[in-house]
Amino acid sequence: MPKMWLMLLWLGVLAWFPPAVHAEPARWNLDPEHSTIEFRITHMVVSKTTGQFTDYAGYIDMDAEDGTVTAIEATIKAESVNTNHIKRDTHLRNAEFLDVKLYPTITYKMKNYKRTSEGFTAIGDLTLHGVTKEVLLTGRYNGSTKDPWGNQKAGFSISGKINRKEWGLNWNAALEAGGVMVSDEVRIQAEVQLVLGK
């Protein structure tokens, strides 16, 4: 008889506190009209130059309830690089830098995702200038909401850094006062808005 009472008690607890149900990951497509993918590099030792790519597509597969991500993929058209300076952008597109005619796209594909107390870390393959290497990205899931037209939106803030020479982007010039024209380290910052696929 005591076992029967214990079973009834357990069933009562389950009725009040049903087990948590996790939603299946859904595909969220990158909304380029409300996103930015930027990079920053030290110029002539004393200042920073910021640029961005303006033509890209991609998606994130995730559970929007808790921000658990299962896939991130993105493709950027290298020719869309823009630093607000025509001569510099032409230089970045030529063979001394991105060589966009030979390597027209930059891609990223996530391999591992981990939630942290501050947000998340993601390790993935970055293919740039014909070279594929792993890159660590960190960031924060900013939640999801619905826009006035009924579209479900979500947002991420993402950052990372690379050494451009590891991808064969070796051009530089020595400065008379010491140092070089362009730093090896490139910092990446993306503010990404996504729309739930239909």
> Tens digits of per-residue pLDDT, 93-102?
999 999 999 9
- Residue type at position 106: I
CATH number at residue 64: 2.40.128.110
Q: Is the pLDDT of residue 12 over 80?
A: no
- pLDDT for res 21: 46
What are 108's strand-pairing partners? 74, 126
Residue 131 lies in a domain: yes
Rg (CA), the chain: 23
Answer left, alpha or beta for residue 167, where phi above 0 means left and psi between -120 and 50 means alpha: alpha
Position 4 in a domain: no
The total number of structural domains that make up the chain: 1
pLDDT value of position 65: 85
Q: Please report whether residue 47 resides in a domain.
A: yes
pLDDT of res. 17: 44
36-69 per-position pLDDT tens digit: 999 999 998 889 999 999 999 999 999 988 788 9
Question: Is position 21 within any domain?
Answer: no
Mean of all residue pLDDT scores within the chain: 90
In a domain, 81, yes or no: yes
**Cα dihedral 188→130→28→82 (10° resolution):** 50
